[in-house]
């Protein structure tokens, strides 16, 4: 298969270049997950735009089960609470990000109270919208599963009706030299993905076939 190379726009341009086997939208090819963030502030308007993009994701029965807790460094109390739930390894680099965001999925449907098995799937769709919108705005997002769900649930008094998804670090990509040494090599390493032949279990079209 031939490859197509994308270079992230803006401040992240020096860092990564995605090589896709087929042409995809530039936003998809340009999105990546840095650990190095600058201390440049993300404006309220930018954040609202990201959340608006998430709001328009598709969901089962149009339930829109996603919920967000936004923590900005300009709000030290909320930021400290969410930052404190991160695993130590993530705290080493995420402390640079000006915004942290925790995603929740409502586990029951609003219209009948039955279990919604697609809650986190749909919340992931919302996060994908958010990440692509961030790329379009010159921002970067890094999602983390490494945090204490029990600590987050306690810190924000989250009810049992919500399942906790991921924490995202949001901001402008920064200088990898500001990272602890253990992270620097990964910051500049090529992005890789498994081949489609490994991911598509049945029905993968042959290249060039109609």
What percent of the chain is modeled with pLDDT above 70? Answer: 91
Q: Is the dihedral of CA 156, 129, 139, 86 positive or negative?
A: positive
More confident residue, 187 or 48: 48
Q: What is the pLDDT of residue 208?
A: 67
How do residues 127-147 score in pLDDT, each as one tens digit?
999 999 999 999 999 999 999
pTM over 0.85: yes
Rounded distance between C-alpha atoms, residue 176 and residue 165, angstroms: 27
Task: For residue 47, give every residue at least 6 positions away whose Cβ sits within 8 Å of its Cβ, in sequence order, or none.
Answer: 70, 72, 99, 170
| CA gap 200, 189 in Å, rounded | 26
Q: Mind listing the domains of the chain with CATH numbers?
A: 33-188 (3.40.109.10)
Q: For position 210, what pLDDT does the model report? A: 66
């Amino acid at each position: 298969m031939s490859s197509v190379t994308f270079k992230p726009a803006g401040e992240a341009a020096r860092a990564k270049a995605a090589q896709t086997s087929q042409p995809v939208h530039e936003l998809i090819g340009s999105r990546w997950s840095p650990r190095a963030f600058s201390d440049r502030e993300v404006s309220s308007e930018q954040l609202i735009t990201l959340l608006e993009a998430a709001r328009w994701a598709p969901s089962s029965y149009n339930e829109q089960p996603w919920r967000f807790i936004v923590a900005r460094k300009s709000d030290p109390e909320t930021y400290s609470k969410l930052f404190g739930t991160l695993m130590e390894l993530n705290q080493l680099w995420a402390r640079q990000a000006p915004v942290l965001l925790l995603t929740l999925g409502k586990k029951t449907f609003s219209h009948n109270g039955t279990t919604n098995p697609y809650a986190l799937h749909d919340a992931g769709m919302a996060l994908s919208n958010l990440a692509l919108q961030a790329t379009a705005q010159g921002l970067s997002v890094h999602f983390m599963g490494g945090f204490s769900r029990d600590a987050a649930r306690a810190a924000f008094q989250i009810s049992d009706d919500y399942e906790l998804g991921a924490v995202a670090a949001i901001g402008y990509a920064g200088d990898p030299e500001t990272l602890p040494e253990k992270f620097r090599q990964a910051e500049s390493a090529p992005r890789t993905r498994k081949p489609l032949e490994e991911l598509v279990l049945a029905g993968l079209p042959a290249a060039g076939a109609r």
